[in-house]
Chains A and B, each alone.
Chain A
Amino acid sequence: MLDGITLGQYVPTESPIHNLDPRTKIISSVLLIVVLFLVEGFQGYLLIGLGILGIIAAARLPLGFVLKGLRPLRLILLITLLLHLFMTEGREIARLGPLVVTYEGFNKGVLMTLRLGLLVLATSLLTLTTSPIRLTDGLEDLLNPFKRVGLPAHELAMMMTIALRFIPTLFEETEKIMKAQKARGADFESGKLSQRAKNLVPLLVPLFVSAFRRADELAIAMEARCYRGGEGRTKLHTLQMTRADYLAILLLTAGVIVIAVVF
């Protein structure tokens, strides 16, 4: 059941994109997100879409696999489209009973759906090509300047690392418990919604118990290794920006400015 989730999964392959510094990729994602909100026309989205396709190709990721990341969001995308389609006032182009489709609504709906879809694709590229450890390393480094105003950058990054590290573990655990209960005749797939919700209770109890147990054990293991926060801590792998990183940021910034100004 949980096999099909590709959103946010790291795919370890060799590619120029994988080799970029995580900071480069984080900054690039932010730039992409910003430009997605600045652009208002189809041509702009077309260019950004092509850009993202280019990055997917450079990252040697199968296109179908990346697009599958949109599947969990298909309902949200559909609702966005429909809401804009029917709720925007303007010139009428079609009518479905009391529902009126307007030219403006059509435009806006398609644009919004595109914007959302591209947003998800752009951000999923970050996690698809960056291992969680490198991702949080990069984030910690980027947040460092904010330490002066009291932001616990290291602790935030550590929390994120741990959270990311345990997502697959919890998924696995859920699946295991589900299977054990299916083996005892539990039914998670059919029945009324209320019944299905009730069937989840036996799933959540052992899951929570084991999550707390894990958290406890992890805390003890960390203390046993003398973990005491980020103060004075050095890194095994220090991040290093290379020429490729500067080039990538430069290219992307240029592209983003052009698209933002022209469209």
Chain B
Amino acid sequence: MNVEKAIVVRNLSYTYQANTPLASPALRNVEMEVLPGQFVAIIGQTGSGKSTFIQHLNGLIPTGPGRIWIDGQDIGLKGTNLKGLRQKVGLVFQYPEHQVFEETVFADIAFGPKNQGYSGELLVEKVRRAMGLVQLDYDAFRERSPLELSGGQLRRVAIAGVLAMEPSIMILDEPTAGLDPKTRDEILEQIARLHSETGMTVLLVSHSMEEVARLADLVVVFHDGAIALQGPPRELFQRDAELTALGLGVPQIIRVMKGLVNQGIAVDTRVLTTQEAADQIIQRWHKNA
């Protein structure tokens, strides 16, 4: 069952500090399906359960009553090979640069493959490839200490550390948090390229609609531990009233287009980028002229 899906989640619930006076539910009956190679954005406010959810996907949090299949394999079964699972599902945590701990960039990126048992030439090859994927020059950065790197470079090192394990599913938890706009765009660009070049399944956690509008095939909105809405971004952003009610809002450009419609200018609001919007408006202009 579910062999053709990369991820299937059924009836997943989780409570922090269950059975104590401090219990607080974090997930309620979450259901999700992701196809191989899909780019999924997971959106929600802080505390909506996004991070808790993704930690289930590589077995960091045990599944409990719900069930999760990764590539058709039920990961809640006893005797599941967790190491294998974590190799298959690469997870980049928030502020990954805080977790860089080795003395050199090479050693840090090699941590994952080394744990998988690689050494020598093969290990070097894996590290070199991972650094190439995030566009860090191998020879220039290999021997550098993480302490000398800029925030953006360090974050790339951290992402490379997960890529080096060659996962088929890549999950990134707010990979752009705390970065300046230029570095943020670079990192997003990197992720988009990674997705198209390797054909990996990507799950990107974010709280910014702008960020994911262009990239994602599917947007899943978490609210209060449950999935509130989901759909392809073009369709989803049409439900701007619901999104605003969830405290999320839609990308600015969609607000602009909706504003035009409200003014009686019939443009298509199902756009994702400024370029598409501009094309729409020009088309409209020519029709009127």
* Interface set of A (CB-CB < 8 Å, partner B): 3, 6, 9, 11, 13, 61-62, 65, 176-177, 179-187, 202, 205-206, 210
Please judge, given known A-B contacts A183-B162, A187-B115, A205-B101, whether A13 and B86 are in contact too, CB under 8 Å.
no
Task: Kindly identify which residue among B20, B55, B98, B111 contacts A184, using a CB–CB cutoff of 8 Å.
Answer: B111
Which of B87-95, B178-186, B216-224, B236-244 lies at the binding interface? B87-95
Q: Which of A3, A179, A184 has most B Cβ within 10 Å?
A: A184
Quick check: B98 and A210 within 8 Å, CB to CB? yes
Q: How far is the CB of A178 from chain B (nearest CB, A)?
A: 9
Quick check: A185 and B96 within 8 Å, CB to CB? no
Q: How far is the CB of B16 from chain A (nearest CB, A)?
A: 8
Complex Cα–Cα for A182 and B99 (A): 12
Residues of B within 8 A of A185 (CB): 83, 86-87, 111-112, 115-116, 165
Q: How far is the CB of B17 from chain A (nearest CB, A)?
A: 6
Quick check: B100 and A11 within 8 Å, CB to CB? no
Given contacts A61-B21, A179-B93, A180-B91, 7 further A-B pairs with CB under 8 A are: A3-B16, A184-B86, A184-B111, A184-B161, A184-B162, A185-B116, A206-B98
Q: How many A-B pairs with Cβ below 8 Å?
A: 61
Which chain A residue shows the least CB distance to B115? A185
The yes or no answer to B125 lying at the interface (CB within 8 A) is no
The yes or no answer to B122 lying at the interface (CB within 8 A) is no
Quick check: B96 and A11 within 8 Å, CB to CB? no
What 7 pairs across the A-B complex have the smallest Cβ distances? A185-B115, A184-B112, A205-B101, A183-B91, A180-B99, A180-B93, A206-B101
The yes or no answer to B266 lying at the interface (CB within 8 A) is no
Q: List 9 A-B contacts (CB under 8 A).
A: A9-B22, A179-B93, A183-B90, A184-B86, A184-B111, A185-B112, A185-B116, A205-B101, A210-B98
Residue total for B at the interface (Cβ-Cβ under 8 A)? 27
Residues of B within 8 A of A181 (CB): 99, 111
Residues of B within 8 A of A202 (CB): 101-102, 111
Please judge, given known A-B contacts A11-B22, A182-B60, whether A187 and B83 are in contact too, CB under 8 Å.
yes
The yes or no answer to B58 lying at the interface (CB within 8 A) is yes
Complex Cα–Cα for A185 and B17 (A): 26
Quick check: B115 and A186 within 8 Å, CB to CB? yes
Residues of B within 8 A of A206 (CB): 98-101
Complex Cα–Cα for A184 and B111 (A): 7
Residues of A within 8 A of B83 (CB): 185, 187
Which chain B residue shows the least CB distance to A199? B115
Residues of B within 8 A of A9 (CB): 22
Q: How far is the CB of A87 from chain B (nearest CB, A)?
A: 38
Among B92-138, those with CB < 8 Å from A are: 93, 96, 98-102, 111-112, 115-116
Complex Cα–Cα for A149 and B177 (A): 51
Please judge, given known A-B contacts A179-B55, A210-B98, whether A65 and B93 are in contact too, CB under 8 Å.
no
Residues of A within 8 A of B99 (CB): 176-177, 180-181, 206
Complex Cα–Cα for A239 and B17 (A): 32
Quick check: A183 and B98 within 8 Å, CB to CB? no
Which chain B residue shows the least CB distance to A176? B93
Residues of A within 8 A of B102 (CB): 202
Q: How far is the CB of A3 from chain B (nearest CB, A)?
A: 6
Which chain A residue shows the least CB distance to B16? A3
Residues of B within 8 A of A62 (CB): 21
Q: How far is the CB of B152 from chain A (nearest CB, A)?
A: 19
Quick check: B93 and A13 within 8 Å, CB to CB? no
Interface membership of chain B positions 26-53, coded 1 if the CB is closer than 8 angstroms to chain A and 0 otherwise? 0000000000000000000000000000
Complex Cα–Cα for A202 and B101 (A): 6
Complex Cα–Cα for A187 and B81 (A): 12
Complex Cα–Cα for A180 and B161 (A): 11
Q: How far is the CB of A12 from chain B (nearest CB, A)?
A: 9
Which chain B residue shows the least CB distance to A68? B20
Residues of A within 8 A of B161 (CB): 184
Complex Cα–Cα for A180 and B17 (A): 21
Please judge, given known A-B contacts A184-B111, A186-B115, whether A179 and B60 are in contact too, CB under 8 Å.
yes
Complex Cα–Cα for A23 and B58 (A): 48
Please judge, given known A-B contacts A65-B21, A177-B99, whether A183 and B60 are in contact too, CB under 8 Å.
yes
Task: Kindly identify which residue among B16, B93, B101 contacts A183, using a CB–CB cutoff of 8 Å.
Answer: B93
Please judge, given known A-B contacts A180-B99, A185-B83, A185-B165, whether A6 and B20 are in contact too, CB under 8 Å.
yes
Complex Cα–Cα for A182 and B91 (A): 10
Complex Cα–Cα for A177 and B60 (A): 12
Quick check: A184 and B60 within 8 Å, CB to CB? no
